[in-house]
Structure 1
Amino acid sequence: MASEGILLGMGNPLLDISSVVDDDFLKKYDIKLNNAILAEDKHLPMYEEMASKGNVEYIAGGATQNSIRVAQWMLQIPGATSYMGSIGKDKFGEEMKKNSTDAGVNVHYYEDEAAPTGTCAVCVVGGERSLIANLSAANCYKSEHLKRPENWKLVEKAKYFYIAGFFLTVSPESIMLVAEHAAANNKTENVEEIALKISQSHKASGAHKRITVITQGADPVVVAEDGKVRLFPVILLPKEKLVDTNGAGDAFVGGFLSQLVQEKPIEVCVKAGCYAANVIIQRSGCSYPEKPDFN
């Protein structure tokens, strides 16, 4: 059983503004599908335009926050997860707070006085999506916020920390790295070789072993540990059931973490990650039903 505050996430919170759009909208803002970019000046009006649409959805997003929300959903344990990041003092910030709090995450946001809340336009067409992120206040986090007694208590209470792609734990189990685009750094395109090389890379402390997990969409998940590589099949989904791929990778991380913090075996962690990702891609945005059906 996971304890209160066992998992703490820190990252760039972005309010996902998700909406089904048409080709004219894509052309208007020069957007390509299956792409993820930072917003330029030409994109800035699109956030309010999307917010004015009748089919818009607001979801407390940003990669780390998505994963923490999914982990909280999988755990179903009040107060098991916490999250810190920076938002602005505006309507999107209030929407972010409401959304994440309703998800059961113990959020402690730093509220920037000058910059607006970071947003991410999620433009969906036929199940495919494009992400345009306007980081804004998400880039304004101050270390002074972390040092406040009420926030530092979250750090002291947590045993696992998730920060932008790295899993850190003070348990004897592992320190884990999720790697998705490591081919260039390892001078090979063989995913299994990449996973093995990353798992064997030097660690400063040397106190814990490194486990590498690489997801490959519909292809098997690759896990490298103790000099060995294992492959785990994902849950295949018929194309007609695919709604939106946004947040699938974040959901995998959240599902994985929900079992890791309970010290479950790696194969169970991967199974939970695949389950969570499968649920999310059948829904709009990084959202989920009231309760998970994982066992």
Structure 2
Amino acid sequence: MSQNLRGALIGFCNPLLDISAVVEDGLLAEYKLKANDAIMASEEHLPLFQTLMDKYDPKLLPGGSAQNTLRGAQLLLPEGSAVFFGAVGADENAKKLKQAAEKAKLRTNYMVNESKPTGTCALLITGHNRSMVANLSAAETYSFEHVRKPENWKDIENAQFYYITGFFVAVSPDTIQAVAQHALDQNKTFMMNISAPFVAQFFMGLVEKTLPYIDILFGNESEALTLAEGFKWAEGRTLDTSDVKWIAKRVADLPKLGKKPRLVVFTQGALDTVVASSSEEGVRVYPVSKIPDSEIGDTNGAGDGFVAGFLAEYMQGRSVDTCIEAGHWLGGQVVRQIGPNYPEGELNFTPSASFAPAIEKI
């Protein structure tokens, strides 16, 4: 590898300790949760966390979407390539998160809140589905004052790639704006993941403000549909998955700052991944290899793994086709685990000569 990737990737999100448990459908109904969704905890959800600890046998796993992604990318990159920013408490849970990051050779630059505990996320597994309920706590206190300190801003200046999740939009929009502007001014790569439907539902103004800076936008089919609804593109009809390709291309073509074309990547679980670029007509459609049901642990973290594989190849100058194939491969590895975990041991991705998309006009 010719390029120097030390500190090249910066990620911002909410570091959370995941409390993962296999539960019955009745528990979802009790808390009015969907089987495959991600929400922020409200007052009515707070007892759920203790219920999982008292009545189930939960696994405690290091979490937070971007931290999961950066752990995966770092496993495929030279040591020291990635740095994660977020806020934690001064407690044992923060130590567990840091230890998990260090195991993957991921460097963390946490803001420590002495008065609030590290955030947690309840992961309710039903079959192959997972419902996520996040109690941000310390994570929601991340402040731009932390990143603007000279010793921390140096990490921003040294990096070439920036990845921010939609979950972070409501936490520190000032941080997002400053990093996005830096990336634009220095011709670096700024990337964002929609992350959950509620982001486009409740923070659409912030998403629209950020979008002109975004060089690569990630999301899944549900998030794509919600984004289109936020833009009021439905025009009185109900959008469905048949509209994902059209939405991807329309988002790619929205006004953008800088000279780089915008790339939009929408995954659809076991269905085709859709990629649109403002520099290309039509969309690319990439098939996903089927994973036997007997090999599936759960789907939690699969999207984070996909982005991890994509970023690891993209940072090394690989083609979009190779990046997508790597994303599918690493997402598939995560699906075979329980929780947002990566396989033990060394990870190596080998691209195939035959992987290629179908090109469809829109």
TM-score computed with the length of structure 2 as normaliser: 0.74
1:7 to 1, 6, 9: 9
Residues 161, 189 of structure 2: 8 Å contact kept: no
Counterpart of 1:176? 216
Partner of residue 41 from structure 1, selected from 40, 43, 46: 43
Deviation at 1:150, TM superposition (A): 2.7
Question: Residues 17 and 71 from structure 1, CA distance in 2 versus in 1: closer, same or farther, beyond 3 angstroms?
Answer: same
The answer (yes or no) to whether the contact 2:308–2:330 under 8 Å persists in 1 is yes
Give 5+ residue unaligned stretches, structure 2: 167-175, 191-213, 351-362
Shift of 1:71: 0.8
Give the C-alpha shift of residue 29 in structure 1: 4.7
- Of 58, 73, 83, the match for 1:56: 58
1:40 and 1:294, CA in 2 relative to 1: closer, same or farther beyond 3 A?
A: same
Greater relative contact order (Cα 8 A, min sep 6): structure 1 or 2? 1
8 Å contact 1:118–1:134 — kept in the other structure? yes
- Measure how far apart 1:278 and its partner are: 0.7
Pick aligned residue for 2:251 from 176, 198, 202: 198
Q: How many residues end up aligned between the 2 structures?
A: 293
- Structure 2 equivalent of residue 216 of structure 1: 268
Shift of 1:49: 4.4
The answer as to 2:300 corresponding to 1:249 is: no
Offset, 1:215:
1.0
Per-residue CA deviation, residues 260-285 of structure 1 (Å, 9 max, x unaligned), is: 11111000110111111111111111
Gaps in structure 1 of 5+ consecutive residues: none
Maintained 8 Å contact 2:37/2:131: yes
Name the structure with the higher helix share.
2
Displacement after TM superposition at 1:111 (Å): 0.7
Q: Is the 8 A contact 1:183 1:191 kept in 2?
A: no
Per-residue deviation, residues 108-166 of structure 1 (Å, max 9, x unmatched): 10011222211101121323221111011111012221122331221111100001159
The SS at the match of 2:162 is strand
- 1:147–1:128 distance in 2 versus 1, CA, 3 Å: same
CA drift at 1:288: 0.9
**TM-score, normalised with respect to structure 1:** 0.90
Q: C-alpha displacement at 1:103, in angstroms?
A: 2.0
Structure 1 residues 172 and 162, CA gap change in structure 2 (3 angstroms) = closer
Using a 3 Å threshold, how does the CA distance of structure 1 residues 91 and 212 change in structure 2: closer, same or farther? same
Q: Tell whether 2:145 aligns with 1:92.
A: no
- In structure 2, the CA distance between the partners of 1:145 and 1:231, relative to structure 1 (3 Å rule), is same
Deviates further, 192-201 or 261-270: 192-201
Q: CA RMSD in A?
A: 2.5
